[in-house]
Copies of this chain bind each other. A is one copy, B any other.
Amino acid sequence: MASKRTADGGRAQIIEAARCLFAGNGFHQTNMAELAARASVSVGQIYRLYAHKTDIIAAIIQIDADQRLAELQVISDAALSKAMPIRDAFEELARTVLNQGGEALTFQILAEGHRDANVAAVIARLCERYRELLRGMALLANDSLEGDRLACAGEILLSCLFGLGNRELSRPDLSVDDTARLAADFFLAALR
C-alpha cells in the first residue's frame, strides 16, 4: 500500500490502526507489516516513530489516560468550585467510566504490562494521577479524611472505578444510569 504522509508523520493513523488490530487480533499476533498496511504508512516509518511495538502500547495508554483524566478533571474542578454538588460529581464520574468502552484493548494492554517494564511504569504513573484526583474528590465529600484513611479512600475509589469501567464481560443487568446513580450514593455514604 502506498504510504501517506501527514503532519504528524502518520502517528495518528498508526495509533488508530494499532487500536483496531491489537484489540481484535491481540498485541503479539499483530505484525508491523499488517500495521503498516492498515495505517497506510511504510514499515520503516513506524520504526522511526516507535522503536519497539511496546512503545505503541505505551503511546495508546498515554493518549487514552490523558483524555480520560482531562474528562475527570473537568468534573473534579466543577465540584471543587462548587458549581456541581459532590454527589452529582461522583455520579458523573461513575457514568464516564461506565461509558468508556474499549475493554478488549484494556485487557491486552494490562496483559502486556506484566511483560514489559516500560508499559508497567507508564501504568503505575497514571494510576498515581488517578489516585491524586480521587483523593481530592474524597476530601470534598469529607474534609476530615487524612493519612491512611484518605489514601485508602483514593485506593478504593480507583479500584471500584476500574472495576465498573471493565464489566462488559460480566454481563450486568443494571443500566449505566442506575449504576452511576447508586454508585454515587454508595461512595458518598462510604466517605462520610
A interface residue numbers (CB < 8 A to B): 23-24, 26-29, 103-104, 107-108, 110-111, 113-115, 120, 123-124, 127-128, 148-149, 151-153, 155-156, 158-164, 166-167, 169-174, 178-179, 182-183, 186-187, 189-192
Contacts and interface: CB of A to CB of B under 8 A. Distances in A.
Contacts of A186: 152-153, 156, 190-191
A interface secondary structure, majority? helix
A152 B185 CA distance: 10
Given A152-B178, A152-B182, A156-B183, 16 more contacts: A24-B115, A103-B114, A104-B115, A110-B166, A110-B169, A111-B111, A124-B169, A148-B178, A153-B186, A155-B167, A155-B174, A159-B163, A160-B160, A162-B167, A189-B189, A189-B190
A183 B151 contact: no
A176 to B, nearest CB: 11
Given A114-B103, A189-B190, A164 B156 contact: yes
A111 B108 contact: yes
A156 to B, nearest CB: 5
25 contacts: A26-B26, A26-B28, A26-B111, A28-B28, A103-B110, A104-B111, A104-B115, A107-B111, A107-B113, A110-B166, A110-B169, A123-B169, A127-B170, A148-B182, A149-B182, A151-B173, A152-B182, A152-B183, A152-B186, A155-B174, A159-B161, A162-B163, A163-B163, A189-B192, A190-B190
